[in-house]
């Protein structure tokens, strides 16, 4: 059960509109479906729906439908009797019974199997659940709030989700905007997370982010939304070891010249087309085949071409090795290895 206080932060119009819709639906004893990308705060909105409802002093029970194997979902939802299946040594109440009188929040609703959907529909329609292995149903009084990051009508069209269950659960639908659609909230949220992390680190004062870093935060796409923003901000605060506004933000913690790569990602050097020997004239006027200039075996020709390609790319990029690596589609480490192999490590020096 969830007992923490809900903290929802934002001032953008799109976000406030979604929040207002959730607040208006909170007082009605009807199901609400919350839709949004990962990290947009669906669970926080579910908490808000519960706290503003007449059920606020009753349990708020959370179940992540994607966190359990399909064979256990029904037992989790509806409970089971002792001996109902292998390993069921004693009776256990399900989430519906735990939430009796309160709210049941079903996260990742779209991952439920069709069988679980059918039993869920009966529970929602009739207010009855039957434990696995039991013969009699149990009456429950539960308000359903469900969440998903999928477009469920498309799943209905693909026969992956029951249309009647979707109709029953979508009395009100609250769609949360992604963070990239909440530009005015990014710095507000970053400041909130930054202050909290600075206090945890024992900082005497919070200086915020430098203007360039604020621009970088606003311009980033945030595929992980608010959850990703929190990680980025907290990581920047904990790594910053100087006084003043934070001037370094790392969006991808996996970025490194030493990160593991695969052979499949290494660029393939093109092989130069074989040159037809051009005939030349001998001193007596007869045409003879020209002698090959340079290496004549395949490996040597490829090596010569690779060295010439590296030399030309270095010159084109003013011998800046990082720029050269980017131009060739190589990592910095791969470029250094190639330069060392061809004795070009000090080229341009």
Q: Tens digit of pLDDT for each residue in 176-194?
A: 999 999 999 999 999 999 9
β-partners of residue 104 are 61, 144
Whole-number pLDDT of residue 268: 43
Indicate if 17 and 164 belong to the same structural domain.
yes
Provide the pLDDT for residue 303: 81
As a whole number of angstroms, the distance between CA 78 and CA 93 comes to 7
Q: Is residue 280 part of a domain?
A: no
CA dihedral 92, 95, 101, 107 (to 10 degrees): 170
**Which of 162, 177, 192 is a domain's end point?**
177
pLDDT for position 198: 96
Q: Are residues 85 and 20 in the same domain?
A: yes
Identify the pLDDT of residue 333: 75
User: Over 80: is that where the pLDDT of 83 sits?
Assistant: no
User: By mean pLDDT, which of 91-95, 231-235, 266-270 is the weakest?
Assistant: 266-270
Average pLDDT over residues 205-220: 95
pLDDT at 312: 87
CA distances from 148 to 32, 120, 169, 311 (A): 11, 16, 12, 53
The residues, ordered by sequence, that sit 6+ positions from 296 with a Cβ below 8 Å of its Cβ are none
Is 199 found in the same domain as 334? no
Residue 257 lies in a domain: no
Asked if residue 305 and residue 165 are part of one domain, the reply reads: no
255 domain residue, yes or no: no
Q: What is the mean pLDDT of residues 245-260?
A: 89
Residue 34 to residue 147: CA distance in whole angstroms: 5
Residues 23 and 160 in one domain: yes
139 has pLDDT over 60: yes
pLDDT of residue 281: 47
Asked whether 271 and 304 are in contact (CB, 8 A), the reply is no
Residue 261: pLDDT over 80: no
252 domain residue, yes or no: no
> Which residues have a Cβ under 8 Å from the Cβ of 60 and sit 6 or more positions away?
1, 2, 46, 47, 50, 99, 102, 103, 105
Judge whether 40 lies within some domain: yes
Q: 26 and 140, same structural domain?
A: yes
pLDDT at 349: 55
pTM here? 0.70
Q: What is the pLDDT of residue 348?
A: 64
SS3 category, 99: coil
Looking at the structure, tell me whether residues 130 and 165 fall in a common domain: yes
Average pLDDT over all residues of the chain:
86
Q: How many domains does the chain have?
A: 3
Judge contact between 60 and 50, C-beta under 8 A.
yes
Q: Which domain holds residue 225?
A: 182-239
Distance, in Å, from the CA atom of 132 to the CA atom of 84, rounded to the nearest integer, reads: 6
Q: At what angle do helices 321-328 and 332-341 cross, to 10 degrees?
A: 100
Q: Which of 180, 177, 186 is nearest to 221 (CA)?
A: 180
For the chain, the C-alpha Rg in angstroms (whole number) is 31
Distance separating alpha carbons of residues 273 and 206, to the nearest angstrom: 62
Whole-number pLDDT of residue 322: 83
pLDDT at 295 (0 to 100)? 54
């Amino acid at each position: 059960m969830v007992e923490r206080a809900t903290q929802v932060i934002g001032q953008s119009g799109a976000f406030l509109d979604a929040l207002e819709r959730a607040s208006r639906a909170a007082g009605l004893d009807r199901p609400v479906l919350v839709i949004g990308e990962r990290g947009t705060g669906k669970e926080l909105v579910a908490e808000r729906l519960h706290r503003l409802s007449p059920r606020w002093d009753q349990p708020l029970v959370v179940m992540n439908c994607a966190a359990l194997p399909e064979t256990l979902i029904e037992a989790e939802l509806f409970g089971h009797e002792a001996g109902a299946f292998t390993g069921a040594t004693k009776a256990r109440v399900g989430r519906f019974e735990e939430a009796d009188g309160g709210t049941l929040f079903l996260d990742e609703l779209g991952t439920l199997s069709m069988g679980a959907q059918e039993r869920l529909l009966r529970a929602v329609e009739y207010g009855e659940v039957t434990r696995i292995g039991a013969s009699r149903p149990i009456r429950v009084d539960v308000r359903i709030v469900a969440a998903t990051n999928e477009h469920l009508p498309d799943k209905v069209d693909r026969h992956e989700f029951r249309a009647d269950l979707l109709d029953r659960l979508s009395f009100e639908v609250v769609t949360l905007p992604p963070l990239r659609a909440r530009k005015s909230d990014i710095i507000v949220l970053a400041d909130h997370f930054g202050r909290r992390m600075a206090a945890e680190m024992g900082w005497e004062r919070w200086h915020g982010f430098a203007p360039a870093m604020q621009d970088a935060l606003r311009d980033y796409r945030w595929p992980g939304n608010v959850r990703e923003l929190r990680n980025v901000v907290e990581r920047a605060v904990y790594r910053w070891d100087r006084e003043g506004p934070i001037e370094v933000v790392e969006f991808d913690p996996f970025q490194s010249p030493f990160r593991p790569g695969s052979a499949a990602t290494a660029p393939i050097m093109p092989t130069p087309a074989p040159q037809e020997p051009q005939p030349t004239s001998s001193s007596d006027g007869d045409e003879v085949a020209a002698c090959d200039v340079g290496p004549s075996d395949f490996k040597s020709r490829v090596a010569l071409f690779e060295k010439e390609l590296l030399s030309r790319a270095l010159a084109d990029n003013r011998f800046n090795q990082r720029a050269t690596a980017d131009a060739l589609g190589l990592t910095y480490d791969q470029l250094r290895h190639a330069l060392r192999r061809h004795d070009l490590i000090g080229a341009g020096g």
